[in-house]
Amino acid sequence: MLLAAITTVFLAAEKQWMMLDWKPKRPDMLIDPFGIGKIVQDGLVFRQNFSIRSYEIGADQTASIETVMNHLQETALNHVGSAGLLVDGFGSTPEMCKKNLIWVVTRMQVVVDRYPTWGNVVQVDTWVSASGKNCMRRDWLVRDSKTGEVLTRASSIWVMMNKVTRRLSKMPEEVRGEIEPYFMNSEPVIAEDSRKLVKLNGSSAEFVRKGLTPRWSDLDVNQHVNNVKYIGWILESAPLPILETHELSSMTLEYRRECGRDSVLQSLTAVSENGTDEIECQHLLRLEDGSEVMRGRTQWRPKNAKISGNVGQIPADTA
């Protein structure tokens, strides 16, 4: 019996080594397998590859919007880390840590031309630029690593908040000195959608989901709910027929307030159709007392709609 047990362990170990020594039949299947990024374009752009895992796809057999957003967040943090500026918290620089400052996102625009599928490898480029006196803009360009086809474009605005007082802060000159050398002088990768986001209420919203609460795993290292979780919450009130027949093609989000582990939220959605196959939704995420957490607008296209792909380029630094 002992010999049989030893043989079983040996065979299991041999199988594991065979799996580790496995080579893909197609050389394009596994690029940058450990997700280690690199700095490109004169040290101003961070690039990282991601393989789409089986647990990152949804009912449509494509990557979920949360997966896309997690890739954006991961590359942003790794960009700061690769520059040697990541000390504590989400992207806090040494000077920010001294002053108890953290980054918070206030606005996000995302356009998805095509969602990757299981086994695809996506290449994510990200860079930062100045936005006014006290803000920073971060852009992303997501492409198919094999063909160069643009899959997603995203642009965001970030400000600083004191993590003790939870109040917004001006950008100290010491912090500006740390990050300015990494700024690209370029236009946003997406033209700004300047349309005002509608404030919904109980009478204007057609669909309402109440009693949403964060789990412990929804909190980030700064002890507030990760901004990607908000996207899942606003989709909680999206009507099922839209989810079944359409896919999210773009969204504009304005983050108004943070929420923590004890927050109880409501998700409100209003649907408008413009006579075409595309659908637009207005969203509001609020606390039970009515305080706004996030406003949003999403646009949806019919599933399997033909999208003309293109090969995207990172905007040149015009400095």
Catalytic residue from among 78, 120, 226, 259: 259
Catalytic residue from among 49, 78, 222, 226: 222
By DSSP bridging, strand 101-112 and strand 121-131 are: unpaired
Q: Which two tokens stand for residue 221?
A: 């290292």
Q: Where are the extended beta strands (E) located within 163-219?
A: 168-169, 207-212
Distances (CA, A) of 240 to 64, 110, 122, 221, 268: 16, 22, 29, 33, 14
Catalytic residue from among 78, 79, 120, 224: 224
Answer whether 143's CB lies under 8 Å from 123's CB.
Answer: yes
Answer whether 293's CB lies under 8 Å from 265's CB.
Answer: yes
Token look-up 């967040």 returns 73
Radius of gyration of the chain from its Cα atoms, rounded to whole angstroms:
22
Residues 6 or more apart whose Cβ sits within 8 Å of residue 259: 214, 224, 225, 265, 287, 293
Q: Is 304 one of the annotated active-site residues of the chain?
A: no
User: How far apart are alpha carbons 279 and 104 in whole angstroms?
Assistant: 30
Q: Which two tokens stand for residue 52?
A: 């789409």
User: How far apart are alpha carbons 97 and 66 in whole angstroms?
Assistant: 29
Q: Give the single-character DSSP code of 171.
A: -
3-state DSSP assignment of residue 83: coil
Q: Give the single-character DSSP code of 273.
A: E
Q: Is 259 one of the annotated active-site residues of the chain?
A: yes
Q: Is 201 one of the annotated active-site residues of the chain?
A: no
Active-site amino acid positions = 222, 224, 259
